[in-house]
Structure 1
Amino acid sequence: MTTVAVLGGGIGGLAAAYYLCKSPQVSKVILVEASSRVGGWLSSTRRADGAVFEHGPRGIRPAGAVGRNTLNMVDDLGLAGEILPVTYSHVASKNRYLYVKGQLHKMPSGISGLLRTVPPFSRPLLLSVAMEILVKKNKEDDESIHSFVTRRLGKELADIAVDSLCRGVFAGDCRKLSIRSCFPPLYNAEQHRGSLTLGMLLGSGPTPVIPPGPLAQRSIEESWAQWSLRRGVESLPESITDYLQQSGRVELHRDAAVRNICPSNSGWKINLEDGVVSADHIISALPAKALSSALPSSCQPLIQELQDIATVTVAVVNLEYDGSILPAMGFGHLVPSSEDRGLLGVTYDSVPFPEHNRPDGQTTRLTVMMGGAWFQEEFGDPETVSEERLLARATEAVHCHLGVATAPRWSWVALQRDCIPQYYEGHYRRVESMRSFIKKKSLSLSLIGSCYDGVSVNDVIFSGRRAVEELLGTGATKEVVFVGRADHVLRRTQPLN
């Protein structure tokens, strides 16, 4: 009987468990999680008065193969009736803002927006796009996002729009982040078509084939831009956990951290705080540094590569105000690093998901994101910064950016340490090197999660599916052991996906 240990009970580990349980080759799953809960960064507060606040991703995109894959899972879990869709025609999809030079500016959208000069930009965006076709292909195998966009679309777009986008998605610095690893469709478009425009129109390489189920098909027909769940996105890991327990093949162990793992005659011996587990194969959904500290010294080259994957800390503050206080309706606004290095952006949560407001009385929910790659220089050591200081900075930003003079009626301060991996230039080489080492040494080990192949919820879920399919394709899997931790700490959250 084959035993597989999957380290980590976040959404990646849960997804791996789900796909293992879907296979007739799997007869038993044992889930071992270091914390008291599973689900990782997908965490929602449901107040007694009906309001819902997200302490992790607040909306999930349905587009592409990985988006369809997640919706197929949601459908299978019986959550279709809980879906809160936001269409492309919704004001939250059409209106996204940048805060530049002390003012909110709506991002250009539609043909008219591309044809006109729209502040804060000094020329029509269509001009940059048209000229991009004439730019020669880069011969280097990777470059920073800022360099890539500057070369192809101009420095202004790189300094303002792309800088802000990278702060919203990765809480990172576009001058360090890799275009190849962070935005592979853009990199592939240039490599395969010689142009972003042609790549977007003609396609830029193979993509996974995921047929849409009924829910994914509905998202296409209704033109969803994003979606959430009625009781918050934490409903997804909760439903996966219920599915695993109801399958009759899962043993769930909480509060059982991994101390170390070492080779054994049959594969691996995993030392836990409350005992020892033996396994033939490991699927690790742990953060890279957490895995590096558990591996044996014989894996030193792999350990070093794992330790070199940087992460950033993000402070997130959820705010609730009485009344309708927004001067502009939309998804929210992002802030370029040239404007305010410490303030990443503000989401207007009540606009895309009013269903999460408390049902009695008019309120407005906002989320302020701060720090990221600039946390240390703006706030100092995450271990010593106070919640009071973070709350004051967040409410000051709401007052300054949105003109809200009143104090919030409710707030929640979250400090998320080392939450988002940073794919710096050459990240793809590091991942290839790690997997090459694993293959060369014939290690029974798979790497999944946000540290390697994408930081979004969809990417992480799909990495679990891919690892399971690769494993089951090599032989029958009978027993599965989940070990590790989601690295969840109360009052932490994740910035925009």
Structure 2
Amino acid sequence: MQKTVAVLGGGIGGLSACYYLSKSPQVSKIVLLEGSGRLGGWLHSTRREDGAVAELGLESELLPVTYDHVASKNRFLFVGGQLHKMPSGLGGVVRTVPPFSQPLVLSVLKELLIGRGKEGDETVHSFVSRRLGAELADIAIDCLCRGVFAGDCRKLSVRSCFPPLFNAEQARGSIVLGMVLGSGSGPVVPSSGLAQRAQRERWAQWSLRKGMQSLPDALEDSLKGRVQIHKHTPVKELTQGPGSWESLSEQLREISMVTVAVVNLEYEGSILPVGFGHLIPSSEDRALLGVMMGGAWFQEVFGSLEEVTEKCFLDRAIQADCIPQYHLGHWKRLENIRHYIDQHKLPLSLTGASYDGVSVNDVIFSGRKSVESLVGEV
């Protein structure tokens, strides 16, 4: 029997779910309900008349950037009032490179001798401090968590935020050995020509010429005629016969979010060396993350979101509650949520950045997995 499926929310997760649902012969009707007047969620590009693209929400390099490209190699940390290029290559590992006080190879060698952790989860800072030393945790990992999650590495879960590191230790007793010898089955590369090209050329990241909003725009166009799309249609409540979903609602509300202010600057000509950008540890400036401002410290530094003036919204993209925070125990909360859905046989599947990854790629994959949990492989 074919199914009718309603998708709540037209962000990249909802659009991806619609795309995969439209490929399933088990689905006869798809209805997409979006509360705002546009699709794409946090993927929102401002296109100026001179052709410049300012990403309001998610920033990326234009088009594919490989791992050996100068923009990928040149990554900086702002420590002690100055920029420091992140160590790269063999030379950067075997010699002392500021802001670090010793060669990184020493931390790597010591890591091989550290025993496997006994906890089911651990904060990112605690995990890296234990295995690689406090300095790497305080500087490099602190910066990384602020750049990716706009969050505090002393609260974020290593199991949920960096599963390859957690799995490497669980499988091999060491991050290094896990990375070298493998810690389980690797990712399956799709057979599409584009996916094969990305692997062959070693893409580090990708974007689109007219901005990342081009992706949801193209998805919307491709879904016309196959999906009933309703904008300006916020969903207020879900009910299904007797009983209550309050327990599920409470667990979902426990996944916290942070607010980020994104400021885009453009200069005439090439006035800066090519690089990926720079990040700043919380010990330097709790509010300034690098290319973003705020995150887990938004309320403390900027005050209430309701008090920000309209002019501020026009000049700066303030993204309210835009990045979910996978705090310690996040994996267990997800386990409980999914068990509740299975136990109560709810015709419901969850997708988006709140669960298994915050990147665009993660959310697209989340859309596919949620569809397959409802209708099988697509």
Fold conserved (TM > 0.5)? yes
| Range that drifts further, 144-153 or 23-32 | 23-32
Other-structure match for 2:349: 446
Other-structure match for 2:332: 429
RMSD (CA atoms): 1.9
Q: Does 1:259 align with 2:236?
A: yes
Q: Does 1:85 align with 2:86?
A: no
Residues 3 and 26 of structure 2 are in contact (CA less than 8 Å); yes or no, is this contact kept in structure 1? no
Cα distance in 2 for partners of 1:443, 1:24 equals: 21
- Partner SS, residue 207 of structure 2: strand
The counterpart of 2:316, out of the listed 389, 398, 413, is 413
CA-to-aligned-CA distance 1:341-394 (integer Å, 9 cap, x gap): 000003xxxxxxxxxxxxxxxxxxxxxx10101111111112213477x79xxx
Q: Does 1:375 align with 2:298?
A: yes
Q: Does 1:249 align with 2:226?
A: yes
Other-structure match for 1:279: none
Q: Gapped runs of 5+ residues in structure 1?
A: 61-82, 265-295, 347-368, 392-410, 478-497
CA-to-aligned-CA distance 1:207-230 (integer Å, 9 cap, x gap): 453434111221222222111111
The counterpart of 1:310, out of the listed 244, 256, 261, is 256
Other-structure match for 1:25: 26
Residues 43 and 54 of structure 1 are in contact (CA less than 8 Å); yes or no, is this contact kept in structure 2? yes
Counterpart amino acid of residue 130 in structure 1: L
CA-to-aligned-CA distance 1:164-185 (integer Å, 9 cap, x gap): 0000000000000000000000
| Range that drifts further, 370-379 or 183-192 | 370-379
Matches within 5 A, 1:37-436: 37-59=38-60, 84-245=63-224, 248-264=225-241, 298-326=244-272, 328-346=273-291, 369-386=292-309, 412-436=315-339
- Partner SS, residue 36 of structure 1: coil
Show structure 1 runs of 4+ deviating over 3 A. 385-388
Other-structure match for 1:467: 370
Taking only the aligned residue pairs, the percentage that are identical comes to: 65
Cα distance in 2 for partners of 1:209, 1:225 equals: 17
CA-to-aligned-CA distance 1:236-270 (integer Å, 9 cap, x gap): 1111111101xx32222110111111114xxxxxx
CA-to-aligned-CA distance 1:418-462 (integer Å, 9 cap, x gap): 111101100100010111111111111111111111111111110
CA-to-aligned-CA distance 1:112-136 (integer Å, 9 cap, x gap): 1001100000000111011101001
Other-structure match for 2:4: 3
The 3 A distance-change label for structure 1 pair 207 and 446 is farther
- Partner SS, residue 321 of structure 1: coil
Other-structure match for 1:458: 361
- Partner SS, residue 240 of structure 2: strand
Residues 111 and 175 of structure 2 are in contact (CA less than 8 Å); yes or no, is this contact kept in structure 1? yes
Other-structure match for 1:363: none
Residues 168 and 345 of structure 1 are in contact (CA less than 8 Å); yes or no, is this contact kept in structure 2? yes
Q: Gapped runs of 5+ residues in structure 2?
A: none
Counterpart amino acid of residue 296 in structure 2: A
Cα distance in 2 for partners of 1:252, 1:310 equals: 29
Cα distance in 2 for partners of 1:43, 1:230 equals: 13
* Larger strand percent: 1
Counterpart amino acid of residue 88 in structure 1: Y
Counterpart amino acid of residue 226 in structure 2: R
Shift of 1:27: 3.0
Counterpart amino acid of residue 73 in structure 2: K
Residues 157 and 330 of structure 2 are in contact (CA less than 8 Å); yes or no, is this contact kept in structure 1? yes
Shift of 1:16: 0.4
Counterpart amino acid of residue 323 in structure 1: G
Higher relative CO (Cα under 8 Å, sequence separation at least 6) belongs to 1
Counterpart amino acid of residue 422 in structure 1: Q
Shift of 1:320: 1.4
The two structures have a TM-score, normalised by structure 1, of 0.73
Cα distance in 2 for partners of 1:162, 1:314 equals: 19
The two structures have a TM-score, normalised by structure 2, of 0.95
- Partner SS, residue 206 of structure 2: strand
Residues 44 and 52 of structure 1 are in contact (CA less than 8 Å); yes or no, is this contact kept in structure 2? yes
Cα distance in 2 for partners of 1:314, 1:55 equals: 11
Cα distance in 2 for partners of 1:171, 1:329 equals: 23
Cα distance in 1 for partners of 2:68, 2:304 equals: 42
Residues 101 and 339 of structure 1 are in contact (CA less than 8 Å); yes or no, is this contact kept in structure 2? yes
Residues 319 and 412 of structure 1 are in contact (CA less than 8 Å); yes or no, is this contact kept in structure 2? no
| Range that drifts further, 151-160 or 429-438 | 429-438
- Partner SS, residue 298 of structure 1: coil
Residues 99 and 105 of structure 1 are in contact (CA less than 8 Å); yes or no, is this contact kept in structure 2? yes
Shift of 1:311: 0.7
Counterpart amino acid of residue 370 in structure 1: M
Shift of 1:297: 7.0
Shift of 1:24: 2.7
The 3 A distance-change label for structure 1 pair 342 and 386 is farther
Residues 181 and 428 of structure 1 are in contact (CA less than 8 Å); yes or no, is this contact kept in structure 2? yes
Other-structure match for 1:273: none
Residues 27 and 249 of structure 1 are in contact (CA less than 8 Å); yes or no, is this contact kept in structure 2? no
Counterpart amino acid of residue 44 in structure 2: S
Cα distance in 1 for partners of 2:349, 2:185 equals: 23
Residues 158 and 166 of structure 2 are in contact (CA less than 8 Å); yes or no, is this contact kept in structure 1? yes
Counterpart amino acid of residue 162 in structure 1: I
Other-structure match for 1:398: none
Counterpart amino acid of residue 340 in structure 1: D
